[in-house]
Each structure stands twice: as C-alpha cells, then as structure tokens.
Amino acid sequence: MSLNKVFTKFVSVTMGLLLLSPLAIADTNKVLFDMKDPHVLIKNASEATFSRFRNERDLIDKDLNYLKVIVAEELMPYINHKRAAASVLGNKHYKQAKKEKKFNEFSEVFRDYLVLTYANIFTLYDNQKVIFSPASDIKGKKVVSVSVKIIDAQRPPIAIDFKLRKGKKSGDWKAYDMVAGNGLSMVSTKAKEFDGIINKKGFDYLITQLKKKSLESVEAKAN
C-alpha cells in the first residue's frame, strides 16, 4: 500500500488513543519553540520529532509504543487539541457538550486520540526527505496553512497541510487540523463519523468507545 493511501486511510478510518501510562507522560520541563511564526514552528517541531526518530531508533525497534512518547513530547505541545475537539464536534454538538459539562473530558480523550494516530502514521517514517513551504505573509491572519511535502524515492510524494490558528490572548500559533494532498481533512472526516455516533448513542457512548480504543498499541503500517 502506498504512503498516500495509508495517510488517506488514517485520516478517514485509523484513529486511536493514548493511555496516560508512565511511558506516555510528556516531559513537562521541555523548553518549547517560539510559536509566534507558524511556518518556523512547524519546521522546528517536525525536525525535532524526526531527529528523535533517528536518534532513538533502538528504543522504537524494541517497543513501537515509544513513538507515543516522542509524539507526546515533541508534537502535542504545539497542537491545540481543544480547538480540534470543538471543530470535530461542530457548533451544535460543541454547545451540547458544554451544556452537559462533557467537553473537557471529550477534549482530553481526543488529545490522546491524536497521539496514537500520529504515532501509527510515523511507523512509516524511514528517514525520508521533508520539504517545508516557504514563509508567507501572516499579518492580520488568524488561520493559516503550512504545507509539508514528504519525499520518498520509492513512492509518490505526500503533501500535507497543517492548519494553524493564532491564540487571541497569547498570540501563539497552534495546529488544529491536517489536510491530506487529496483535500481530505482529519477534522471534517471525524466530524461526520462522530456526528452519527452522538446522534444515535450520545456523548457518553462516544467517550467510552474512545477510551476502549486507548487499550490499543501502536501498529506498524504496511508500506
């Protein structure tokens, strides 16, 4: 299976969760990158992540779940999981979740959901070349897209757009969605799935199912 097909599948189907086990606890003392420029942020966070993949290959080979640690420490500080969770729910379900005081629980579960999702995808990483889009004018913008292209000599390149939003108070940029080269958005894809589940069985059922998913380990994807 091609990398592009695998990425499409992960966006539409393969989503998972991360248990807050000792292995998965992020380094709270980590010094964060500057988040005032979305292009620089994506480049720095990505390069730091790939660097750890290369330098800690032995640990990953011993236990693929170590990818969760790297994702939690290197990527998640720059992901606005609450914004992503709200976007996935949509306006109607977001208001309902807030009213029922279930949004915070859902957003934390969704954060863990993203960690294993990214960890699963990164099982495909094998020191491919990564090209980042040049910086663009962000003055006056609240939402921007930063494009990343993964080059593999054996396969067609994969294009990914990270959508970032600027914090109103902090002025920091954080990512909240990923869009595949074919235009498939993780947020919009999961929004359709979750909408059906919530309408039929409610928030409690959805959260329970996501927590069950958290028992799953990282699985190597076929190339």
Domain chopping of the chain, boundaries? 3-13+34-209
Residue type (1 letter), 130:
V
Q: CA dihedral defined by 82, 104, 72, 171, rounded to 10 degrees?
A: 40
Given CA atoms 71, 77, 78, 83 in this order, what sign does their dihedral have?
Answer: positive
Supply the DSSP symbol for 31.
P
Computed over its alpha carbons, how large is the radius of gyration of the chain?
17
Instruction: Map tokens 């309902």 to a residue.
Output: 96
pLDDT on residue 88: 95
Which of residues 126 and 82 earns the better pLDDT score? 82
pLDDT on residue 29: 59
Find out whether 2 and 152 touch, Cβ atoms under 8 Å. no
Among 78-82, 126-130, 206-210, the range with the most confident prediction by mean pLDDT is 78-82
Band the pLDDT of 211: cuts 50, 70, 90. Answer: confident
User: What CATH code is assigned to 3-13+34-209?
Assistant: 3.10.450.710
User: What is the rounded average pLDDT for all residues in the chain?
Assistant: 84
- CA distance readout (Å), 30 to 15, 73, 162, 173: 27, 8, 23, 18
* Cα 195 to chain centroid, rounded: 20
Instruction: Map tokens 């992503």 to a residue.
Output: 84
Question: With pLDDT > 70 as the criterion, what percentage of the chain qualifies?
Answer: 85
The pTM score is: 0.81
Find out whether 123 and 220 touch, Cβ atoms under 8 Å. yes
Which of residues 78 and 212 earns the better pLDDT score? 78
Gap between the Cα atoms of 193 and 185, Å rounded: 13
Per-residue pLDDT tens over the stretch 86-105: 999 999 999 999 999 999 99
The helix (run of H) or strand (run of E) holding residue 176 is strand 173-180
Gap between the Cα atoms of 156 and 17, Å rounded: 29
Residue 109 has pLDDT above 70, yes or no: yes
